[in-house]
Structure 1
Amino acid sequence: MPESGRKVLKVGLLEKRSDGLLQLWKKKRCVLTEDGVLLLPPKQLEQRPGAGDAAGRPKELHFSGMKTLDCVERKGKYVYFTVVMAEGREIDFRCPQDEGWNAEITLQMVRYKNRQAVLAVKSTRQKQQLLGHKAARSAPHVA
Protein backbone atom coordinates (compact mmCIF):
# COMPACT_ATOMS: atom_id res chain seq x y z
CA MET A 1 0.00 0.00 0.00
CA PRO A 2 2.58 2.67 0.97
CA GLU A 3 4.80 1.72 -1.97
CA SER A 4 2.00 2.63 -4.40
CA GLY A 5 2.26 6.31 -3.50
CA ARG A 6 -0.60 6.47 -1.02
CA LYS A 7 -0.05 8.77 1.93
CA VAL A 8 0.83 6.90 5.15
CA LEU A 9 -1.11 8.40 8.06
CA LYS A 10 -0.16 6.10 10.94
CA VAL A 11 2.10 3.11 11.56
CA GLY A 12 2.10 0.93 14.66
CA LEU A 13 1.13 -2.34 16.29
CA LEU A 14 -2.37 -3.71 16.65
CA GLU A 15 -3.44 -7.11 17.89
CA LYS A 16 -5.82 -9.09 15.68
CA ARG A 17 -7.85 -12.02 16.95
CA SER A 18 -7.15 -15.13 14.88
CA ASP A 19 -9.96 -16.96 13.10
CA GLY A 20 -8.88 -20.33 14.50
CA LEU A 21 -10.49 -22.39 17.21
CA LEU A 22 -8.35 -20.85 19.98
CA GLN A 23 -8.85 -17.26 18.75
CA LEU A 24 -5.45 -16.08 19.92
CA TRP A 25 -4.39 -12.43 19.75
CA LYS A 26 -1.60 -11.95 17.20
CA LYS A 27 0.46 -8.78 16.86
CA LYS A 28 0.31 -7.10 13.46
CA ARG A 29 2.24 -4.14 12.14
CA CYS A 30 -0.42 -1.81 10.74
CA VAL A 31 -0.12 0.94 8.17
CA LEU A 32 -3.09 3.30 7.91
CA THR A 33 -3.48 5.21 4.63
CA GLU A 34 -6.23 7.25 3.00
CA ASP A 35 -7.48 4.06 1.33
CA GLY A 36 -7.32 1.41 4.06
CA VAL A 37 -5.24 -0.58 6.52
CA LEU A 38 -2.34 -2.85 5.63
CA LEU A 39 -1.64 -5.71 8.09
CA LEU A 40 1.90 -7.14 8.21
CA PRO A 41 3.78 -9.45 10.55
CA PRO A 42 5.26 -7.34 13.41
CA LYS A 43 8.84 -7.18 12.08
CA GLN A 44 8.14 -7.03 8.35
CA LEU A 45 7.98 -3.25 7.92
CA GLU A 46 11.34 -2.89 9.57
CA GLN A 47 12.89 -5.39 7.14
CA ARG A 48 11.38 -4.69 3.72
CA PRO A 49 8.29 -2.51 3.34
CA GLY A 50 5.87 -3.84 0.75
CA ALA A 51 7.20 -7.39 0.74
CA GLY A 52 4.71 -10.17 1.42
CA ASP A 53 4.69 -12.30 4.55
CA ALA A 54 5.67 -15.97 4.60
CA ALA A 55 2.17 -16.97 3.47
CA GLY A 56 2.20 -14.54 0.52
CA ARG A 57 0.98 -10.98 0.29
CA PRO A 58 0.25 -8.69 3.22
CA LYS A 59 -3.43 -8.44 4.11
CA GLU A 60 -5.12 -5.21 3.03
CA LEU A 61 -8.39 -4.02 4.51
CA HIS A 62 -9.52 -1.50 1.93
CA PHE A 63 -12.14 1.05 2.99
CA SER A 64 -14.23 0.22 -0.09
CA GLY A 65 -14.79 -3.23 1.47
CA MET A 66 -15.50 -1.98 4.99
CA LYS A 67 -19.02 -1.47 6.24
CA THR A 68 -18.45 -0.18 9.79
CA LEU A 69 -16.13 -0.15 12.75
CA ASP A 70 -18.02 -0.93 15.92
CA CYS A 71 -18.13 -2.77 19.24
CA VAL A 72 -15.69 -0.35 20.84
CA GLU A 73 -15.11 -1.45 24.41
CA ARG A 74 -12.53 -0.41 26.97
CA LYS A 75 -11.27 -3.13 29.30
CA GLY A 76 -8.16 -2.71 31.41
CA LYS A 77 -5.39 -1.22 29.31
CA TYR A 78 -6.97 -2.18 25.94
CA VAL A 79 -9.58 -0.85 23.55
CA TYR A 80 -11.35 -3.66 21.68
CA PHE A 81 -13.07 -2.99 18.35
CA THR A 82 -14.50 -4.86 15.38
CA VAL A 83 -14.17 -4.02 11.71
CA VAL A 84 -17.23 -5.25 9.82
CA MET A 85 -16.53 -5.91 6.16
CA ALA A 86 -19.15 -5.42 3.42
CA GLU A 87 -19.60 -9.18 2.97
CA GLY A 88 -20.42 -9.51 6.69
CA ARG A 89 -17.07 -10.86 7.93
CA GLU A 90 -16.00 -9.41 11.30
CA ILE A 91 -12.38 -8.84 12.28
CA ASP A 92 -11.59 -8.20 15.95
CA PHE A 93 -8.73 -5.95 17.05
CA ARG A 94 -7.34 -4.55 20.25
CA CYS A 95 -4.76 -1.91 21.08
CA PRO A 96 -3.61 0.09 24.10
CA GLN A 97 -6.21 2.75 24.98
CA ASP A 98 -3.85 5.67 24.41
CA GLU A 99 -3.08 4.76 20.78
CA GLY A 100 -6.50 5.61 19.32
CA TRP A 101 -6.42 3.20 16.38
CA ASN A 102 -10.20 2.76 16.41
CA ALA A 103 -10.80 6.51 16.10
CA GLU A 104 -8.14 6.95 13.37
CA ILE A 105 -9.49 4.07 11.28
CA THR A 106 -13.08 5.32 11.68
CA LEU A 107 -12.12 8.87 10.70
CA GLN A 108 -10.23 7.74 7.60
CA MET A 109 -13.04 5.37 6.58
CA VAL A 110 -15.58 8.23 6.79
CA ARG A 111 -13.27 10.50 4.77
CA TYR A 112 -12.82 7.77 2.15
CA LYS A 113 -16.58 7.14 1.86
CA ASN A 114 -17.22 10.91 1.59
CA ARG A 115 -14.63 11.24 -1.21
CA GLN A 116 -16.28 8.35 -3.06
CA ALA A 117 -19.74 9.93 -2.66
CA VAL A 118 -18.50 13.28 -4.03
CA LEU A 119 -16.89 11.52 -7.00
CA ALA A 120 -20.12 9.63 -7.70
CA VAL A 121 -22.16 12.86 -7.69
CA LYS A 122 -19.65 14.57 -10.01
CA SER A 123 -19.72 11.60 -12.36
CA THR A 124 -23.53 11.58 -12.44
CA ARG A 125 -23.63 15.34 -13.17
CA GLN A 126 -21.09 14.97 -15.97
CA LYS A 127 -23.14 12.17 -17.54
CA GLN A 128 -26.32 14.26 -17.28
CA GLN A 129 -24.59 17.26 -18.89
CA LEU A 130 -23.22 15.08 -21.67
CA LEU A 131 -26.66 13.59 -22.35
CA GLY A 132 -28.21 17.09 -22.26
CA HIS A 133 -25.70 18.37 -24.85
CA LYS A 134 -26.30 15.35 -27.12
CA ALA A 135 -30.09 15.80 -26.87
CA ALA A 136 -29.82 19.50 -27.70
CA ARG A 137 -27.69 18.78 -30.78
CA SER A 138 -29.95 15.99 -32.06
CA ALA A 139 -33.22 17.86 -31.54
CA PRO A 140 -34.73 19.21 -34.79
CA HIS A 141 -34.19 22.93 -35.21
CA VAL A 142 -37.49 24.76 -35.70
CA ALA A 143 -37.41 28.22 -37.21
Structure 2
Amino acid sequence: MKKTHSAWRFILAAFWAVLAMAFIGAGSAHAAPPKFCAPTTFSLSGSVADQFWNNVTPNQWAKMLSANWQDNGFHFYGRVRQRGPDAGINTPSDLESEIRKGTPKPEGTPNRWQINLPILSSGGQPLRVIYDYDGSKNAKCSLVTLSY
Protein backbone atom coordinates (compact mmCIF):
# COMPACT_ATOMS: atom_id res chain seq x y z
CA MET A 1 0.00 0.00 0.00
CA LYS A 2 2.84 2.36 0.82
CA LYS A 3 4.36 2.00 -2.69
CA THR A 4 0.98 2.72 -4.32
CA HIS A 5 0.51 5.84 -2.20
CA SER A 6 3.96 7.12 -3.20
CA ALA A 7 3.25 6.40 -6.86
CA TRP A 8 0.00 8.39 -6.72
CA ARG A 9 1.73 11.31 -5.03
CA PHE A 10 4.37 11.28 -7.77
CA ILE A 11 1.71 11.20 -10.50
CA LEU A 12 -0.24 14.03 -8.85
CA ALA A 13 2.92 16.13 -8.46
CA ALA A 14 3.82 15.54 -12.11
CA PHE A 15 0.30 16.52 -13.17
CA TRP A 16 0.52 19.82 -11.26
CA ALA A 17 3.95 20.53 -12.68
CA VAL A 18 2.72 20.02 -16.25
CA LEU A 19 -0.35 22.16 -15.56
CA ALA A 20 1.80 24.97 -14.10
CA MET A 21 4.11 24.89 -17.14
CA ALA A 22 1.10 25.11 -19.43
CA PHE A 23 -0.14 28.23 -17.66
CA ILE A 24 3.30 29.82 -17.66
CA GLY A 25 3.67 29.07 -21.38
CA ALA A 26 0.21 30.45 -22.14
CA GLY A 27 1.07 33.74 -20.47
CA SER A 28 4.08 34.30 -22.71
CA ALA A 29 2.31 33.79 -26.03
CA HIS A 30 2.61 36.55 -28.60
CA ALA A 31 -0.37 37.99 -30.37
CA ALA A 32 0.81 37.69 -33.94
CA PRO A 33 0.84 41.13 -35.52
CA PRO A 34 -1.32 41.64 -38.58
CA LYS A 35 0.08 42.22 -42.05
CA PHE A 36 -0.04 46.00 -41.58
CA CYS A 37 2.71 45.58 -38.95
CA ALA A 38 4.98 43.77 -41.40
CA PRO A 39 8.24 45.55 -42.21
CA THR A 40 7.44 45.49 -45.93
CA THR A 41 4.34 47.61 -45.37
CA PHE A 42 5.93 50.23 -43.09
CA SER A 43 5.60 53.62 -44.77
CA LEU A 44 6.00 57.26 -43.90
CA SER A 45 4.46 60.24 -45.65
CA GLY A 46 4.97 63.97 -45.65
CA SER A 47 7.27 66.57 -47.03
CA VAL A 48 9.77 66.27 -44.16
CA ALA A 49 10.46 62.54 -44.67
CA ASP A 50 13.69 63.46 -46.47
CA GLN A 51 14.83 66.01 -43.87
CA PHE A 52 17.65 65.25 -41.43
CA TRP A 53 16.41 64.08 -38.03
CA ASN A 54 17.44 67.31 -36.29
CA ASN A 55 14.98 69.16 -38.59
CA VAL A 56 12.02 66.85 -37.83
CA THR A 57 9.79 67.78 -34.89
CA PRO A 58 7.87 65.23 -32.80
CA ASN A 59 4.61 66.55 -34.27
CA GLN A 60 5.88 66.10 -37.84
CA TRP A 61 7.09 62.60 -36.96
CA ALA A 62 3.68 61.64 -35.57
CA LYS A 63 1.95 62.90 -38.73
CA MET A 64 4.34 60.89 -40.94
CA LEU A 65 3.37 57.57 -39.39
CA SER A 66 0.65 55.60 -41.14
CA ALA A 67 -2.63 55.15 -39.26
CA ASN A 68 -1.61 51.68 -38.03
CA TRP A 69 1.59 52.83 -36.31
CA GLN A 70 2.10 55.08 -33.30
CA ASP A 71 4.95 56.37 -31.13
CA ASN A 72 3.42 57.01 -27.73
CA GLY A 73 5.60 59.33 -25.68
CA PHE A 74 8.02 59.75 -28.59
CA HIS A 75 10.64 57.49 -27.00
CA PHE A 76 11.27 55.78 -30.34
CA TYR A 77 11.58 59.17 -32.04
CA GLY A 78 14.19 60.24 -29.49
CA ARG A 79 16.17 57.03 -29.94
CA VAL A 80 16.17 57.16 -33.73
CA ARG A 81 17.30 60.79 -33.66
CA GLN A 82 20.06 59.85 -31.23
CA ARG A 83 21.21 56.50 -32.68
CA GLY A 84 20.09 56.66 -36.30
CA PRO A 85 22.78 58.90 -37.81
CA ASP A 86 25.60 56.73 -36.40
CA ALA A 87 23.96 53.76 -38.16
CA GLY A 88 23.47 55.60 -41.47
CA ILE A 89 19.81 56.42 -40.77
CA ASN A 90 19.95 60.17 -41.34
CA THR A 91 16.33 60.81 -42.33
CA PRO A 92 12.89 59.28 -41.75
CA SER A 93 13.05 57.98 -45.34
CA ASP A 94 16.28 56.15 -44.48
CA LEU A 95 14.50 54.56 -41.52
CA GLU A 96 11.59 53.48 -43.71
CA SER A 97 13.96 51.91 -46.23
CA GLU A 98 15.87 49.97 -43.55
CA ILE A 99 12.69 48.76 -41.81
CA ARG A 100 11.35 47.44 -45.12
CA LYS A 101 14.51 45.29 -45.44
CA GLY A 102 14.17 43.99 -41.88
CA THR A 103 13.15 40.65 -40.47
CA PRO A 104 10.40 40.48 -37.81
CA LYS A 105 10.35 38.03 -34.92
CA PRO A 106 9.07 37.82 -31.34
CA GLU A 107 11.22 39.84 -28.96
CA GLY A 108 10.77 37.74 -25.82
CA THR A 109 8.30 39.86 -23.87
CA PRO A 110 4.62 39.02 -24.48
CA ASN A 111 3.18 41.07 -27.35
CA ARG A 112 6.55 42.67 -28.08
CA TRP A 113 8.13 42.22 -31.48
CA GLN A 114 11.37 43.24 -33.10
CA ILE A 115 12.41 43.98 -36.63
CA ASN A 116 16.08 43.19 -37.13
CA LEU A 117 17.54 45.71 -39.52
CA PRO A 118 20.43 44.84 -41.84
CA ILE A 119 22.69 47.21 -39.87
CA LEU A 120 25.17 45.63 -37.47
CA SER A 121 26.96 47.04 -34.44
CA SER A 122 30.73 46.72 -34.14
CA GLY A 123 30.02 43.57 -32.10
CA GLY A 124 27.88 42.06 -34.88
CA GLN A 125 24.49 42.71 -33.25
CA PRO A 126 21.65 43.84 -35.56
CA LEU A 127 20.01 47.21 -35.01
CA ARG A 128 16.46 46.41 -33.87
CA VAL A 129 13.18 48.28 -34.07
CA ILE A 130 11.17 47.15 -31.04
CA TYR A 131 7.39 47.51 -31.14
CA ASP A 132 4.33 46.25 -29.28
CA TYR A 133 1.16 44.75 -30.66
CA ASP A 134 -1.39 43.53 -28.12
CA GLY A 135 -3.83 41.91 -30.53
CA SER A 136 -6.90 43.76 -29.30
CA LYS A 137 -9.63 44.81 -31.72
CA ASN A 138 -8.35 48.36 -32.41
CA ALA A 139 -4.69 47.72 -31.64
CA LYS A 140 -1.96 49.59 -33.44
CA CYS A 141 1.68 48.74 -33.83
CA SER A 142 3.32 50.86 -31.15
CA LEU A 143 6.97 51.77 -31.69
CA VAL A 144 8.99 51.33 -28.48
CA THR A 145 12.70 51.84 -29.12
CA LEU A 146 15.63 51.48 -31.50
CA SER A 147 18.45 49.45 -30.03
CA TYR A 148 21.31 47.04 -30.73
Question: Is this a same-fold pair by TM over 0.5?
Answer: no
Bigger strand share:
1
**Which gives a bigger RCO, structure 1 or 2 (Cα 8 Å, sep 6+)?**
2
Bigger helix share:
2
Normalised TM-score (structure 2)? 0.28
